[in-house]
Amino acid sequence: MKKLVSLAITASLSLSAMAQDAYDAANLASQDLNGTARYVGMGGALDALGADISTISSNPAGIGLFRSSMGSFTLSVVNQEDAVKFQSANPTNLSFDQIGFVWSNEGYDSYLNFGFNFHKSRNFNHILTAANAFRPSDIKTDGTGNITSLVGGGQNIATDIKRNSGLFDSGNQDANGVNYYESQLDNLYFNLLWFDNGDGTSSYYPLTASDFNFRKGNTGYIGVYDLNISGNSNNRVYWGLTVGIHDVHYESATRYTETLEPGQKLPNGIIPSEAGIIDERTIKGQGVDLKAGIIFRPIAESPFRIGISIATPTWYDLKTRNFTTCFVDERRNNGEEYNFKYYTPWKFGLSLGHTIGNMLALGAGYEFQDFSSADMRYITEKHYDGDDSRSDEDMNSEIGYCLKGTHTLRLGAELKPDPALAVRLGYNFVSSQYGDNNDAYRNQEVYSPGVYYASTSDYTNWKATHRITAGLGTRIGDLSLDLAYQYSVTNGDFFPYADGQYYESDKTILKYEEMTCPSTPVSLKRHQVLFTMGYRF
């Protein structure tokens, strides 16, 4: 049941596996509203209007509307409201968000364009803090003293409940003696709270807590390098194809502390006052995807346009490392390194665009992505020219249970009261990826390498994201200068661990309402100011 705690570097396991679950799947597949200042200022609603380099990712046909060659780059300042620096995560950061160019044949009726662009699809900089008291409940045991429901609360007791339910029994081990129900975190608590009884037996001694304090700092980004070919057919149909290379750089640092209820004495004589974990994790790697799109004008005499786009999954090859310290009366460390694959869901988009003379442009877009169809995979065999992998069916089933289809709505307008001045407004809405709070939870009772390599137990059910944008633009000859502001807000419910569906001794599931780990409201509010400089040539 217990494995020796040590710093283990396991890059070449015969069954190299992922340490990801449904919540990590959503985190890696989500995208920010980012790109040129014009694109952001209009809420991203340019997929049918085109002629902006940021559409190279959202609808590649938009590059086909360029009638002259150009290049641009974008810088921004991002600020997280009501946040305090933690570890290497800062509330305010300077970000290099975009650089690219489009080469146009400068034809009139039919021509080809080529484009290249780098942009940050995901900015991981985020500081999350939460604190709360555990909700007291009556103690429940299985008749032999094993706790099956909590008094107060405690991450270490969640481990004990898993043990009491039989998840760590030897019968759950594979041929190599590995039990994929047991996480790194479970193992650390076992090594801290398992003692000899002095009579030839040994027992786990759980500790109850009254409250917790949690801090986590995320840093890093996903950078996307897009190569595009696009064209214009008779000024009625525009098409485009983009190949994207995704580069992941994710780092997180977590400190979770519980205040233990007084008077709890361990067999070694220690009366501890706090327990918790310190966790550091990185995820790095690359992925590739394909995106295709079309824009057409159904009425020859009208500038009204309809856009359709599709994006394949991003096929990721990733490596993650963690170093975790668990403390009660003393400390234990553990670390792992391993490779895994992750395939994000497909994306489908529909957009509309219309212009009124040279003064007003209106855009609207809709995108659907079914997060429940994400594919977590573990590597079965390594080769010099690539790795064989297989879907983690148990974890993918859990992803299908916790996550759902996500809807993105983009609305934007651009007014030009003067040919040299543009005023922009936009709204961007993204529905929640997660199921209802009573359905979505970080389940560590899944027989999966994603559980086995887990070193934390926290999760957040994020709700819908609302973004309001505005911008200004001016043109001086062939030089364009654009400024945009974006305010985004996402609320959520934070849990330090999941204990809502553990088993009684008779294997019946405890009701969700009986869990003693209440949700804590959290909010992510961001301000972003972007500046883009472009030049036509």
* 263 C-beta neighbours (distance < 10 Å), count: 6
Q: Is the pLDDT of residue 506 over 70?
A: no
How many angstroms from the chain centroid is the CA of residue 300?
43
Residue pair 209/259 in contact (Cβ under 8 Å)? The answer is yes
Please state, in angstroms and rounded to a whole number, the distance separating the CA atoms of residues 401 and 435. Answer: 8
For 69-102, the pLDDT digits (tens) are 999 999 999 999 999 999 999 999 999 999 999 9
For 348-369, the pLDDT digits (tens) are 999 999 999 999 999 999 999 9
Please state, in angstroms and rounded to a whole number, the distance separating the CA atoms of residues 260 and 270. Answer: 13
- Provide the pLDDT for residue 518: 74
pLDDT-wise least confident of 315-319, 464-468, 494-498: 494-498
- Provide the pLDDT for residue 12: 29
Please state, in angstroms and rounded to a whole number, the distance separating the CA atoms of residues 17 and 5. Answer: 19
Please state, in angstroms and rounded to a whole number, the distance separating the CA atoms of residues 182 and 8. Answer: 16
Residue pair 254/279 in contact (Cβ under 8 Å)? The answer is yes
Map out the domains of the chain with their CATH numbers. Answer: 22-466+481-536 (2.40.160)
Residue pair 404/364 in contact (Cβ under 8 Å)? The answer is no
Contacts 24+ apart (CB under 8 A), 265-268: 266/193, 266/195, 266/205, 266/207, 266/328, 266/329, 267/195, 267/196, 267/197, 267/205, 268/195, 268/329
Helices and strands, counts by H and E, the chain: 7, 23
* Tokens standing for residue 391: 């879907």
- Overall pTM > 0.95: no
Buried b (16+ CB within 10 A) or exposed e, 93-126: eebebbbbbbbbeeeeeebebbbbbbbbbbbbbb
pLDDT-wise least confident of 89-103, 169-183, 237-251, 383-397: 383-397
Mean pLDDT calculated for residue range 503-529: 66
- Secondary structure E strands in 419-519: 421-430, 459-476, 479-495
Residue pair 524/91 in contact (Cβ under 8 Å)? The answer is no
* Tokens standing for residue 224: 């996307």
DSSP per position, 449-475: HHHHT-----EEEEEEEEEEEEEEEEE
